[in-house]
Structure 1
Amino acid sequence: MERDQRRVLRAEVLLVLGVSLGASAVYAAVSLIAKLTASKPLSQQHATLNPSQAPGRPWLDLTYQLLGIFFALIPALLAVHLLSRDAAAGSVWARLGIDRRKPLFDLGSGAALAAVIGIPGLGLYLLARAIGVNATVVPAALPHAWWAIPVLVLSAIQNAVLEEVVVVGYLLTRLRQLGWSTVTVVATSALLRGSYHLYQGFGAFVGNAVMGVVFALFFLRTRRVAPLIVAHTILDIVSFVGYALFANRLPFLH
């Protein structure tokens, strides 16, 4: 690859991350600093996911939620669009492994990945909170409205698509094109994934970084993002919807 092409690709990667999860990583780091310098210990603070955007005004709240989900997907679509511009590289959807060629493999391996990541992940979260290095995570804080569960499911899908397309499919593809080694691209993807979860605490950083290593290696081996989207969607649906439905019955989550 010529020097000018490398410079263009590096700038492209920085811009894509700057309007998506790279910016989230910076905000998450600042949020963690704010928590660590607050008057209460980190373990006594909360990190709320899926909060209400207009308390007491359910229809306006729903509108905000749907708009947030829609616009959060734009960076993923941008990343796919940029990859599609690669000359003579073939279908971008096939290259990313987001197609209908292997539906059983995508669903089966996605479910297996969710189990491998999810069960130890819950244990790591509880341990991190117990030793004081993680905030209490509130996965859902929507009002008791008819649309709450569907919005949580859509939010889970949006998170999965955005993160797996940008942090795995796009980022690993571009970094390999820039000539980075396998170890470096896996570490970069994993550290980025952990970084934009820092607002939850150090346990979330470690857990998500480990997840990032597993997902990056899986993609490099299979060249398919679809199973990662399936796995991530399952993990988030269980977290978001499970908390909304059963938090009052499971006191260890509080």
Structure 2
Amino acid sequence: MSDLSPVEQSEAEPTRAVRSRWGVEVAVILCVGVFPPLLSALVSHPTEETMPSAQHQWLALLVRSFQVLAPTMYVIWRSREGWSAFGWRRWRLSDDLILGFVLALVGLWCARLGVMVGRSLLGADAAYNPVIQNEFRQAFHVDGWTSALMVAALVANSFAEEVVVRAFLILRFTQLLRSPVKAVLLSSLLFASYHVYQGLAPACGVFAMGLLLGTVYAFQGRVAPLIVAHTLYNLAQSWKF
């Protein structure tokens, strides 16, 4: 069981066979957890008429989160590197909650800055997709069952994304690229890429949030506070609309 951060774990020189296995693992997880939502974000153009019901959307997100999480957890288990190598260490409840809360606050500021930069560089047309914005605006103004389903879906999605994009990909990218900086940048780009359905400027905000969480993870190697931060961030983003 390793207590080293992803940066420290990248220092050992792997064999060619090990690097090949890492590459296959990354390809599998990208095909399962990143490319499908990216393709959907690029080809789908939701309108008020084509958007499914709120309950259907949140239920689909909940199911999708577990579909992504299950194979990723299997790949981590099969690696025999130990769960702690991928950020799964004993929960420090108060510390993780406090750090998660602080990261969520800083992340909201970073995301806002990223959106502003995106709008400045890409123009007003890159603002939030009005259909998506309207869906979030209505999320807390529906029946209790739909609101509860939304919260459950956002929690599950935050959990799955942190396991895939931060806990798994940052470690593997660091090992393969021999650079934690490149690993954080690449994971953040992938994280932002499948959020372009929200609009290009909001995707820039997601990229900024990814940089923050990725940098923290690269040096402290704990996924629990990131899950807390991501969950609070998602809930806050939904609430603000």
Q: Encode CA deviations 1:51-106: one digit per residue, 9 max, x unaligned.
A: 526xxxxxxx47x744641342232232122122233x33x1x3333444422221
Distance in 1 (alpha carbons) for counterparts of 2:63 and 2:137: 18
Q: Which one has the bigger helix percentage?
A: 2
Distance in 2 (alpha carbons) for counterparts of 1:188 and 1:65: 28
Mind listing any 5+ residue stretches in structure 1 that lack a counterpart?
A: 36-44, 54-60, 244-252
Q: What secondary structure sits across from 1:185 in the alignment?
A: helix
Could you tell which deviates more after superposition, 8-17 or 215-224? 8-17
Which residue identity does 2:125 align to in structure 1?
A: G
Which among 182, 185, 188 is matched to residue 184 of structure 1? 182
Q: Which runs of 4+ in 1 moved over 6 A?
A: none
Q: What secondary structure sits across from 1:69 in the alignment?
A: helix
1:69 and 1:155 in contact (8 A); partners too: yes
2:126 matched residue in structure 1: 133
Q: Encode CA deviations 1:93-144: one digit per residue, 9 max, x unaligned.
A: x333344442222111110011011145346547839822122342265683
CA deviation after TM superposition for structure 1 residue 219, in Å? 0.5
Distance in 1 (alpha carbons) for counterparts of 2:32 and 2:236: 28
TM, length-normalised to structure 1: 0.74
1:250 matched residue in structure 2: none
2:193 matched residue in structure 1: 195
Q: Following superposition of structure 1 onto structure 2, how do residues 209-248 of structure 1 map, counting pairs within 5 Å? A: 209-240=207-238, 242=239
2:11 matched residue in structure 1: none
Distance in 1 (alpha carbons) for counterparts of 2:200 and 2:98: 31
Q: Following superposition of structure 1 onto structure 2, how do residues 1-254 of structure 1 map, counting pairs within 5 Å? A: 1-31=14-44, 52=53, 61=55, 65-66=58-59, 68-87=61-80, 89-90=81-82, 92=83, 94-122=84-112, 125=115, 128=119, 131-134=124-127, 135-136=129-130, 137-138=132-133, 139=136, 141=138, 144-240=142-238, 242=239, 253=241
The percentage of aligned residue pairs carrying the same residue is 27
TM, length-normalised to structure 2: 0.78
1:152 and 1:237 in contact (8 A); partners too: no
Q: Encode CA deviations 1:140-192: one digit per residue, 9 max, x unaligned.
A: 65683230221111111012111111000010122223243112111110110
Higher normalized contact order (CA 8 Å, seq sep 6+, divided by chain length): 2
2:112 and 2:205 in contact (8 A); partners too: no
CA deviation after TM superposition for structure 1 residue 9, in Å? 2.1
Distance in 1 (alpha carbons) for counterparts of 2:150 and 2:100: 19
Could you tell which deviates more after superposition, 144-153 or 125-134? 125-134
Distance in 2 (alpha carbons) for counterparts of 1:178 and 1:103: 32
Q: Encode CA deviations 1:13-42: one digit per residue, 9 max, x unaligned.
A: 1121111222212332334xx69xxxxxxx
CA pair 140-15 structure 1, distance change in 2 beyond 3 A: farther
Distance in 1 (alpha carbons) for counterparts of 2:208 and 2:110: 11
Distance in 2 (alpha carbons) for counterparts of 1:115 and 1:141: 23
Alpha-carbon RMSD: 3.0
